[in-house]
Amino acid sequence: MTEPRPRRCGYIALLGPPNAGKSTLLNQVLKSKLAITSAKPQTTRNRIVGIHTDGTMQAVFLDTPGVHEAWTELNKAMVSRAEAAVSEADVTCWLGDMTAMARRIEAGHSALDDNDLRVAALLKKASCPVVFVANKVDVVPKELILPVIAAINEQLTPVASVPISALTGDGVAALLEELRSHLPESPLLYPEDEWAQVTERFLVAEIVREKIFHLTAQEVPYSTFVDVVRFDESERETRGLVRLYADVVVERGSQKGIVIGKGGEMLKRIGTLARKELQEVLGCRVYLELFVKVERDWTRTERGLRRVGFEA
């Protein structure tokens, strides 16, 4: 009989430009949806903790907002969240969006754009090892992977480069094995069965926000936050029903009109999609009431930022 391998435990930051697939990777590792995702950049706003535990490791993943040039107070706070996660991590995954990188190479440009260079600059200052994760290889010609890895190596020397598809799960087992080798041997950091560190209230707000990301355009998703004002579980045991009341807060009157839509149609679509998913996530029937409100320029005020969980 072979000796069991000692358990290694630690923190892993997922860092990268917006849209690289950080949240998709987190969900793939956890085999459930913890972090919301969308085809639009800057979907994730907060640091989200997801825990993968098996017989050989406990990997505490820190999903972070995409690193980008930040103008508003909200965006600056998002980028500092990402930086802070790296400073806590035992190892950082630098996620590259291979579709974007391959496109740039094919057009004769450098594989890395300004956001990739921002990630590189941040990682050069960090002391933890970096694993480069070449994501989205399901849709990228194989011959473009090596030139991208070469361009990454010009910036810094990762301890490894691992091609994966966060969407299909290809390469994710190999990535976990690589990450394990950079974690210290240690007792568990969290109980064996704990897989996330978010409240149901946060999940509800995020799922509604995700539908807004999917259904509205331009600046609207970026100007929206969701505040669950009442989470009524009094009938959860008896009738298998949770009643949820949430404010959808936007910055301007015109945005309120868009989120509500003609005859309330848009808000209805958002509500229906969110409710369906919430019933799965909460494992019971859900009554969901959404109310749209305006808080002028909340992305630019200290008070607004505190409302979305950022201490100014």
Residues of this chain that interact with ligand GTP (CB under 6 A) are 16, 18-24, 37-39, 41-44, 65-66, 135-136, 138-139, 165-167
Write out the binding residues for Mg ion, residues 282-301 only, by CB under 5 A: none
Q: Which is nearer to ligand GTP, 34 or 249 (CB)?
A: 34
Q: Which is nearer to Mg ion, 22 or 118 (CB)?
A: 22
Buried b (16+ CB within 10 A) or exposed e, 284-298: bebebebebeebeeb
Q: How far is the CB of 242 from ligand GTP (least distance, A)?
A: 26
Q: Which is nearer to ligand GTP, 18 or 129 (CB)?
A: 18
Q: How far is the CB of 13 from ligand GTP (least distance, A)?
A: 13
Three-state DSSP class for residue 172: helix
Residue 130, beta-bridge partner list: 92
Write out the binding residues for Mg ion, residues 120-179 only, by CB under 5 A: none
Q: Which is nearer to Mg ion, 44 or 216 (CB)?
A: 44
For Mg ion, which stretch binds (CB under 5 A), given 15-23, 94-102, 145-153, 216-224? 15-23
Residue position matching structure tokens 């949240």:
23
Contact 135, 95 (CB under 8 A): yes
E-strand stretches of the chain: 8-15, 48-53, 57-63, 91-97, 130-135, 160-163, 225-232, 241-250, 285-294
Residue 309 touches which of ligand GTP, Mg ion, none (CB < 5 to 8 A by kind)? Answer: none
Please tell me whether residue 64 binds Mg ion under the rule CB under 5 A: no
Q: Which residue sits closest to ligand GTP, CB atoms considered?
A: 66
Residue 20 touches which of ligand GTP, Mg ion, none (CB < 5 to 8 A by kind)? Answer: ligand GTP
Strands 8-15 and 57-63, how do they pair?
Answer: parallel
With CB under 5 A as the contact rule, the residue among 28, 43, 99, 165 that binds Mg ion is 43
Contact 151, 182 (CB under 8 A): no
- Distance (Å, rounded) from C-alpha 172 to C-alpha 149? 18
Q: How far is the CB of 94 from ligand GTP (least distance, A)?
A: 12
Contacts with 121 (C-beta within 8 Å, 6 or more apart), sequence order:
none
Q: How far is the CB of 178 from ligand GTP (least distance, A)?
A: 17
